[in-house]
Structure 1
Amino acid sequence: MKITYTGRQVELTPAQVKKIEVQFAKLSKLLDGKEQQEAHVTLSLERGRHTAEVTTHYHDHPLVGIATEANMFASLHAAMKKLETQAIKVKGKWRESKRGSGAKAAALPPAAAVAEDLDDASRRVFRVDHTLGRKPMTVDEAVIEMDRSRDYLVYRDANTGGLSVLLRRRDGHFDLVES
């Protein structure tokens, strides 16, 4: 693995270079080690905080690990850990995409066989009728009627006589759909 070092307001010692190379040897095994890998390591010191930034690419995905610690070795170790977790995640996704669709399709039974297995009891649709005893409402009454557990309310509008849907958005505000 080809490693480029940059030290900003920091002189790289041979011990740091050796530690980086040992950790990249482990990472190189994880990244299959078949292709020529390039990595860029930037070490900096700012107000007593040591920052390590490690960047490399794996299957056209940039892997970046940035860590700030009180000690340079600790920040370097934390950045490499972040890089390792990203590499494991990308490697898993890459393997699934290479293997995925054929194995999943073969494991699924054909749709006709699934339909035959279903009995009449499992095909029934159960409907709950909440319209009994409901009177037409205004928008203000519908907002009051909606409690915190429901995200929507279908009601008959008292002003227009049409069917309306009141939706609760994720930010807490409401949307009104009128028909």
Structure 2
Amino acid sequence: MKLIYTGKTKEFTPELEKKVTGKLAKLSKFIEQRGEREAHIVHQIERRLHKVVIEVKFYDHMLIGEGADAELDTALCEAVDKLEIQTVKLRNRWRDTHRDAKGVRLAKEASEDNFVPAEEAAPQKPLRGSKNNGSGSKPKVFHIDYEEDRKPMTLDEAMLEMEGGQPYVVYRDAARGCLSVLVRRADGNYDLIES
């Protein structure tokens, strides 16, 4: 990260530059993903109080971290901490708004197309007397991703959701807060598995 220092009262010494680059090292991992950035550092001393302002332009936004303390190192740490908080918030907001909704929908449809019922997916167990022919085939595991931010539901709501023909429903129980699985048996009744 390129540093541009402005200070009326103190020179930007190589020792001070090392301290600042060390403190901005973690922040530069987030910021410099799209090319090298510039950090403008403004340092002032007012009544034995060091005031440090660090400005960085990131995704067309100006991030500003301000720190003030009697010691320069503490003021720098405070300014860098504020910059890190702003950077993480901005990155998360940018990632959430620019996530490709079409790609997520296609991945969800592909996982539904590859779904195989449990009876077909389960490998046949060899009999006790028979030996493995050395085929080395491993059982296939199918992952089905449901929406992660689903709200907790009651047992009745889970049974209503199973009316769509699903063989099972995994949900967080609203009353107890535990993870529960509701499974439809072959005779039409339900089994409830709670953790």
TM-score (structure 2 length as normaliser):
0.51
1:71 and 2:93 aligned = no
Tell me the equivalent position of 1:39: 39
Tell me the equivalent position of 1:94: 94
Report if the CA contact (8 A) 1:69-1:75 is conserved.
Answer: yes
Tell me by how many angstroms 1:28 deviates. Answer: 1.1
Q: Tell me the C-alpha RMSD between the 2 structures.
A: 2.3
Identity within the alignment, %: 33
Equivalent residue letter for 2:82: K
1:29 and 2:29 aligned = yes
DSSP 3-state at the match of 1:31: helix
> 1:119-173: per-residue Cα shift (whole Å, max 9, x none)?
xxxxxxxxxxxxxxxxxxxxxxxxxxxxxxxxxxxxxxxxxxxxxxxxxxxxxxx
Distance 1:92 1:49, change over 3 A: same
Unmatched runs of 5 consecutive residues or more in structure 2? 109-145, 148-159, 162-195
Equivalent residue letter for 1:45: I
DSSP 3-state at the match of 1:43: strand
Unmatched runs of 5 consecutive residues or more in structure 1? 109-116, 119-179
Tell me by how many angstroms 1:101 deviates. Answer: 4.1
Distance 1:104 1:68, change over 3 A: farther
Tell me by how many angstroms 1:54 deviates. Answer: 0.1
TM-score (structure 1 length as normaliser):
0.55
DSSP 3-state at the match of 1:33: helix
Equivalent residue letter for 2:30: L
